[in-house]
């Protein structure tokens, strides 16, 4: 059944001018104009029968008789030509075509303009039942099974807002909004729905431990080992994650171990490279890995002994070599040049906060360990041994902030590399949810080597991830501080209330040109309300996100309420103690 049945007397107005995808509509009836609102939908008669052009209202102008008179007065003063008589105008951008029938299918919406409207064509407001019906068409995301639904349209509370779950993850997505606008709840809602799918596969980078309350069959929690976990023999099966130093690639290791401002930095980097290759080779020799020996590189994830590395560095740092004259000795090439690096390495190795990198169990120094880690983190629900938890939420809250980019990107690289090295027919797609992305995928590295390493990895995933079935969901309160190359690769935009002008302008640039005006509502959105634009939704739309069943921890402290209480728990001694021990437990 056709949705649009025009009755001439219900027309909003007629087309006055057409400019590519923008039309100006002249409205005669003031009542009808008053009912119009920006971002509402209009439909235009098309020259082809059975086709209807859909427009999004961008601007409404009314020139009343009164305004016209004053306008004319001013115009007289500067000797401008008189304005035309009363003109009520609606400007709309055309966003697609609804076709009554295509083959066997009824009511098909396409995001292309199959025709252009003609001057004097009639235009109608899409409202009431017609709007509900139209939204149903729009949201009828094809495919069987459970669909990705975020909530309901603000325009029509009865119409459920579905997204195309393939396109949402295929072409990357961003979720942005000022703090407290509802990003984490939206993320939780998406995760919750995905978790119900039998073979879901995702990693969530949870920087502050916000997503702890999310539970269920599809979800598992991991925490990067903190100081309190060291030595207690808990590991992967207990949800405690160690990320051995030998998984870091050369650049990441150099970032950790070499101080760029040291005058010996280039020498140190060179020595580290040489020694690590030696160490990896000797590990492979000891373990009789003939095939690997022929092909490994410095970046290959092959274990090596940190003790042996330090012994070798110390040897070079104090090496004496035969002098020019027989029987004499002189200092070796690197004598004394490695001292600062060795001290740095010793510090890191004993720093309890970095225990997850350096204070490893016996298993974590074995070649086979990478397979265990990978199976745990990168298998979907069905492939997990217990058939649970294809969504892996990784809590990074105990990782020191200066190396956070190195550690998050280490897991990003692990995911990407494994997908890349999986034969296409066995590749199982996975999404990486990057919460607080500005912290580890910043716009400017500002000379921070850890940021540089991380930006490089995430840029690669953003650009090439689609080929290998890795989707990014970038979540941030400061889109202007998130790497723009990464953002510009994201074809789905979920934007919540955004008050900062810089952030708004970054988002505006991501919007299609025809929707420029849409962004004016960014600062006005309600908490939990989002503008959704992109590949995954047929129409740019304003959606009230439905509350997730399990709510993320907001981490918001109610100052005034707390101050109103007559008693509070004293914890200062414990805090002092914990600070010294570097252990909260
Ligand atoms: N969809 C929603 N419906 C109702 N309330 C919401 C919704 N999303 C967020 N809120 C409210 O806003 C608060 C902040 O949301 P949150 O997702 O933590 O914000 P953000 O992650 O953007 O800082 C929540 O604690 C909740 O009270
Ligand atoms: Mg949040």
For the residues 77-104, what does the mean pLDDT come to? 78
The reply to whether 379 falls in a domain is: yes
Please tell me if the CB atom of residue 177 comes closer than 6 angstroms to any atom of ligand 1. yes
Closest ligand 1 atom, residue 496 Cα = 22
Span of 4-8, 50-54, 174-178, 294-298 with lowest mean pLDDT: 4-8
* Maximum alpha-carbon separation in the chain: 111
The reply to whether 310 falls in a domain is: yes
Closest ligand 1 atom, residue 177 Cα = 22
For the residues 270-297, what does the mean pLDDT come to? 93
Of 124, 139, 154, the one marking the end of a domain is 139
DSSP 80: P
Helix (H) and strand (E) counts for the chain?
18, 21
Residue 249's pLDDT is what? Answer: 92
Q: Report which bound ligand comes closest to the CA of 176.
A: 1
Q: Report which bound ligand comes closest to the CA of 552.
A: 1
The reply to whether 1 falls in a domain is: no
The reply to whether 512 falls in a domain is: yes
Residue 327's pLDDT is what? Answer: 84
Closest ligand 1 atom, residue 544 Cα = 1
- On whether both 343 and 486 belong to a single domain, the answer is no
Closest ligand 1 atom, residue 178 Cα = 22
Answer for the pair 583, 232: CB distance below 8 angstroms, yes or no: no
- Report CA(366)–ligand 2 centroid distance (Å): 37
Dist. CA 154–CA 540, nearest whole Å: 12
The reply to whether 466 falls in a domain is: yes
Residue among 150, 207, 527, 548 whose CB has most ligand 1 atoms within 8 A, to mutate: 527
| Rounded to 5°, angle at Cα 507 from 502 and 510 | 135
Dist. CA 106–CA 18, nearest whole Å: 28
- Report CA(473)–ligand 1 centroid distance (Å): 18
Q: What band does 82 get if pLDDT is binned at 50, 70 and 90?
A: low
The reply to whether 2 falls in a domain is: no
Residues whose beta carbons lie less than 5 angstroms from ion ligand 2:
183-184
- On whether both 172 and 38 belong to a single domain, the answer is no
Residue 515's pLDDT is what? Answer: 67
Please tell me if the CB atom of residue 527 comes closer than 6 angstroms to any atom of ligand 1. yes
Residue 81 has pLDDT above 60, yes or no: no
Please tell me if the CB atom of residue 275 comes closer than 6 angstroms to any atom of ligand 1. no
pTM equals 0.87
Task: For residue 326, give its domain range.
Answer: 245-359
- Report CA(341)–ligand 1 centroid distance (Å): 46
Q: Whose CA is nearest to atom 6 of ligand 1?
A: 528
Answer for the pair 62, 33: CB distance below 8 angstroms, yes or no: yes
Into how many domains does the chain fold?
3
Q: Report which bound ligand comes closest to the CA of 496.
A: 1
- On whether both 178 and 290 belong to a single domain, the answer is no
The reply to whether 3 falls in a domain is: no
- Report CA(299)–ligand 2 centroid distance (Å): 34
Please tell me if the CB atom of residue 179 comes closer than 6 angstroms to any atom of ligand 1. yes
CATH of residue 551 = 3.40.50.300
Dist. CA 204–CA 160, nearest whole Å: 26
Span of 27-41, 103-117, 121-135, 143-157 with lowest mean pLDDT: 143-157
Please tell me if the CB atom of residue 545 comes closer than 6 angstroms to any atom of ligand 1. yes
- On whether both 372 and 353 belong to a single domain, the answer is no
Residue among 180, 210, 475 whose CB has most ligand 1 atoms within 8 A, to mutate: 180
Of 332, 359, 386, the one marking the end of a domain is 359
- On whether both 194 and 118 belong to a single domain, the answer is no
Number of C-alpha atoms within 13 angstroms, CB side, residue 248? 25
Span of 20-34, 289-303, 549-563 with lowest mean pLDDT: 549-563
- On whether both 334 and 431 belong to a single domain, the answer is no
Q: Report which bound ligand comes closest to the CA of 545.
A: 1
Answer for the pair 222, 395: CB distance below 8 angstroms, yes or no: yes
Answer for the pair 44, 24: CB distance below 8 angstroms, yes or no: no
Q: Report which bound ligand comes closest to the CA of 179.
A: 1
State how far the alpha carbon of 396 is from the alpha carbons of 189, 226, 351, 370, 404, in Å: 21, 9, 17, 20, 8
Closest listed residue to residue 394, CA positions, set 377, 373, 371, 382: 377
Residue among 157, 161, 176, 185 whose CB has most ligand 1 atoms within 8 A, to mutate: 185
pLDDT in tens, 29-72: 888 888 888 888 999 988 888 899 999 898 899 875 544 444 45
pLDDT in tens, 315-346: 999 999 888 888 888 988 889 999 999 999 99
Q: How does the average pLDDT of the chain come out, rounded?
A: 89
Please tell me if the CB atom of residue 180 comes closer than 6 angstroms to any atom of ligand 1. yes
Span of 77-91, 130-144, 230-244, 569-583 with lowest mean pLDDT: 77-91
- On whether both 232 and 377 belong to a single domain, the answer is yes
Residue 579 has pLDDT above 80, yes or no: yes
- Report CA(493)–ligand 2 centroid distance (Å): 17
Closest listed residue to residue 218, CA positions, set 395, 380, 427, 426: 380
Q: Whose CA is nearest to atom 16 of ligand 1?
A: 182
- 387 φψ region: left (φ > 0), alpha (ψ -120 to 50), beta (else): left
- On whether both 129 and 177 belong to a single domain, the answer is no
Residue 70's pLDDT is what? Answer: 47
- On whether both 418 and 467 belong to a single domain, the answer is yes
Residue 464's pLDDT is what? Answer: 96
- On whether both 194 and 334 belong to a single domain, the answer is no
Please tell me if the CB atom of residue 548 comes closer than 6 angstroms to any atom of ligand 1. no
- On whether both 146 and 129 belong to a single domain, the answer is no
Residue 80's pLDDT is what? Answer: 53
Give backbone dihedrals phi and psi of 333, rounded to 5 degrees, phi first.
Answer: -55, -30
- Report CA(31)–ligand 1 centroid distance (Å): 37
Closest ligand 1 atom, residue 181 Cα = 22
Q: What band does 370 get if pLDDT is binned at 50, 70 and 90?
A: very high
Neighbours of 395 (CB within 10 A): 22
The reply to whether 342 falls in a domain is: yes
% the chain with pLDDT above 70: 94
Residue 69's pLDDT is what? Answer: 47
Of 83, 114, 139, the one marking the end of a domain is 139
For the residues 478-482, what does the mean pLDDT come to? 96
Dist. CA 156–CA 265, nearest whole Å: 62
Residue 143's pLDDT is what? Answer: 62
- On whether both 388 and 442 belong to a single domain, the answer is yes
- Report CA(146)–ligand 2 centroid distance (Å): 26
Residue 435's pLDDT is what? Answer: 96
pLDDT in tens, 140-174: 666 667 789 899 988 878 778 888 899 999 999 99
Q: What band does 285 get if pLDDT is binned at 50, 70 and 90?
A: very high
Residue among 528, 546, 550 whose CB has most ligand 1 atoms within 8 A, to mutate: 528
Residue 77's pLDDT is what? Answer: 52
């Amino acid at each position: 059944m056709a949705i649009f049945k025009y009755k001439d007397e219900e027309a909003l107005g007629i087309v006055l001018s057409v400019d590519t995808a923008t039309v100006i509509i002249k409205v005669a009836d003031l009542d009808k104009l008053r009912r119009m609102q920006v971002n509402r939908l209009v439909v235009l008669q098309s020259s082809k029968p059975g086709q209807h052009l859909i427009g999004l209202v961008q601007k409404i102008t009314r020139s009343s008789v009164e305004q016209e008179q004053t306008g004319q007065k001013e115009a007289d003063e500067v000797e401008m030509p008189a304005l035309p008589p009363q003109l009520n105008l609606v400007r709309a951008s055309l966003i697609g075509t609804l076709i009554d029938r295509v083959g066997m299918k009824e009511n098909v919406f396409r995001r292309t303009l199959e025709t252009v409207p003609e001057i004097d064509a009639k235009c109608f407001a899409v409202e009431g039942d017609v709007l509900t019906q139209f939204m149903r068409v729009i949201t009828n995301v094809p495919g069987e099974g459970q669909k990705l639904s975020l909530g309901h349209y603000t325009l029509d509370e009865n119409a459920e807002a579905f997204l195309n779950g393939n396109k949402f993850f295929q072409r990357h997505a961003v979720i942005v909004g000022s703090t407290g606008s509802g990003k984490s709840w939206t993320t939780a809602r998406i995760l919750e729905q995905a978790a119900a799918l039998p073979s879901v596969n995702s990693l969530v980078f949870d920087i502050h431990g916000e997503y702890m309350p999310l539970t269920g069959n599809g979800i598992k929690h991991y925490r990067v080992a903190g100081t309190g976990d060291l030595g207690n023999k808990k590991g992967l099966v207990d949800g405690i994650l160690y990320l051995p130093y030998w998984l870091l690639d050369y650049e990441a290791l150099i970032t950790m171990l070499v101080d760029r401002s040291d005058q010996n930095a280039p020498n140190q980097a060179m020595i580290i490279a040489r020694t690590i290759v030696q160490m990896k080779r000797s590990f492979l020799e000891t373990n009789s890995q003939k095939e690997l020996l022929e092909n490994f590189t410095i970046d290959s994830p092959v274990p090596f002994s940190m003790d042996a590395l330090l012994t070798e560095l110390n040897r070079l740092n104090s090496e004496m070599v035969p002098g020019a004259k027989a029987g004499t000795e002189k200092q070796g090439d690197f004598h004394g040049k490695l001292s600062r690096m060795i001290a740095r390495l010793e510090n890191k190795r004993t720093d309890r906060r970095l225990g997850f990198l350096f204070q490893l169990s016996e298993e974590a120094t074995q070649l086979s360990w990478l397979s265990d880690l990978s199976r745990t983190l990168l298998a979907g629900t069905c492939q997990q041994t217990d058939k649970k938890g294809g969504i892996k939420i990784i809590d990074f809250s105990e990782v020191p902030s200066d190396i956070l980019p190195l550690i998050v990107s280490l897991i990003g690289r692990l995911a990407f590399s494994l997908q890349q090295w999986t034969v296409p027919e066995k590749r199982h797609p996975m999404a990486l949810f990057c919460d607080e992305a500005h912290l580890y995928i910043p716009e400017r590295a500002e000379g921070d080597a850890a940021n540089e390493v991380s930006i490089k990895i995430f840029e690669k995933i953003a650009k090439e991830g689609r080929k290998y079935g890795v989707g990014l969901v970038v979540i941030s309160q400061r889109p202007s501080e998130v790497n723009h190359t990464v953002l510009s690769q994201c074809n789905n935009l979920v934007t919540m209330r955004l008050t900062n002008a810089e952030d708004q302008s970054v988002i505006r640039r991501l919007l299609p040109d025809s929707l420029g005006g849409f962004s004016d509502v960014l600062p006005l959105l309600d908490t939990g309300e989002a503008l959704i634009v992109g590949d995954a939704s047929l129409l740019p739309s304003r959606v009230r996100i439905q509350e997730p069943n399990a709510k993320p921890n907001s981490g918001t402290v109610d100052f005034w309420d707390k101050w109103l209480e007559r008693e509070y728990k004293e914890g200062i001694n414990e805090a002092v103690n914990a600070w010294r021990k570097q252990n909260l437990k």
